């Protein structure tokens, strides 16, 4: 029996187009794309999803692949690969909200002096790493990761395999989205920033009236204790805010995908 007796040439080409999009997405996406997940699990997941989405969307392949040259088909594969990278970039940028929050807080309370090297995230502080993993945990327990798979399905509904047309105006959208995520990360750290700034002002006044006090010796542990206390108080706010922002982000990503597919 020949292989093409079971699988048509159209299905075969659609599978590689779908595989190209999903492989780049899962290669650069946070957590799954990192070294924490073994390679054979990533490959198995990508192949399984590729077969699943191929069976659903190969009838929507509007291009006659039999008339394409090898170079033209390679260009289609490249476009699918770039689309997956684009989606992974948006997800990475959103996850960086917690990294920005953790880095700012770490610098304020003195945790920046105890940076760790992690293969997944590079040079991070323990607090930054904890907040990133907490964000992953929050997504899992609220089942938002399942909605992410719905977004992947919507990419194939809005942009069928082989019909990717990346708009140059996406560059402006990327810059706008990146600046918005940075603002959100900075806004999360603003309560601790205000409190630590108040402590610095108090120490500056004390230093004028009692210069013999070692401000560094007293200020460092006080910043750490007060910073962790404020972080504990606002942690519930952080959880609710991040959960709400993640839902908005998935809706935004869904809308962006359908705009690209127009």
Asked if pLDDT for residue 219 goes beyond 50, the answer is yes
DSSP string, the chain: --GGGTS-HHHHHHHHHHHHHHHHHHHHSTTTSSTTS-HHHHHHHHHHHHHHHHHHHGGG--S-GGG--HHHHHHHHHHHHHHHHHHHHHHHHHHHHHHHHHHHHHHHHTGGGG-EEETTTEEE-HHHHHHHHHHHHHHHHTTHHHHHHHHHHHHHHHS-TT-----TTHHHHHHHHHHHHHHHHHHHHHHHHHHHHHHHHHHHHHHHH-TTS-HHHHHHHHHHHHHHHHHHHHHHHHHHHHHHHHHHHHHHHHHHHHHHT-
Q: Which of 5-9, 91-95, 218-222, 223-227 has the lowest mean pLDDT?
A: 5-9
Higher pLDDT, 189 or 213: 189
pLDDT value of residue 33: 67
Asked if pLDDT for residue 17 goes beyond 60, the answer is yes
């Amino acid at each position: 029996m020949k292989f093409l007796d079971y699988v048509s040439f159209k299905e075969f080409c659609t599978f590689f187009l779908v595989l190209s999009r999903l492989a780049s997405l899962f290669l650069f996406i946070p957590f799954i794309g990192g070294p924490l997940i073994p390679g054979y699990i990533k490959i198995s997941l990508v192949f399984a999803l590729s077969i699943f989405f191929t069976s659903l969307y190969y009838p929507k392949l509007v291009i006659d692949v039999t008339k394409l040259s090898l170079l033209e088909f390679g260009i289609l594969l490249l476009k699918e690969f770039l689309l997956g990278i684009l989606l992974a970039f948006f997800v990475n940028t959103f996850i960086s909200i917690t990294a920005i929050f953790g880095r700012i807080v770490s610098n304020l309370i003195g945790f920046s002096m105890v940076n760790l090297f992690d293969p997944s995230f590079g040079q991070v502080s323990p607090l930054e790493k904890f907040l990133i993993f907490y964000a992953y945990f929050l997504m899992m327990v609220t089942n938002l990761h399942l909605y992410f798979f719905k977004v992947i399905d919507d990419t194939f509904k809005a942009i069928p395999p082989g019909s990717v047309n990346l708009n140059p105006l996406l560059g402006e959208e990327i810059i706008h989205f990146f600046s918005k995520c940075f603002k959100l990360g900075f806004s999360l750290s603003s309560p601790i920033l205000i409190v630590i700034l108040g402590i610095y002002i108090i120490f500056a006044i004390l230093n004028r009236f009692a210069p013999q006090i070692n401000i560094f010796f007293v200020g460092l542990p006080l910043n750490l204790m007060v910073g962790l206390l404020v972080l504990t108080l606002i942690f519930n706010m952080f959880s609710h805010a991040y959960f709400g922002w993640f839902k908005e982000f998935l809706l935004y990503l869904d809308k962006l995908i359908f705009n690209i597919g127009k």
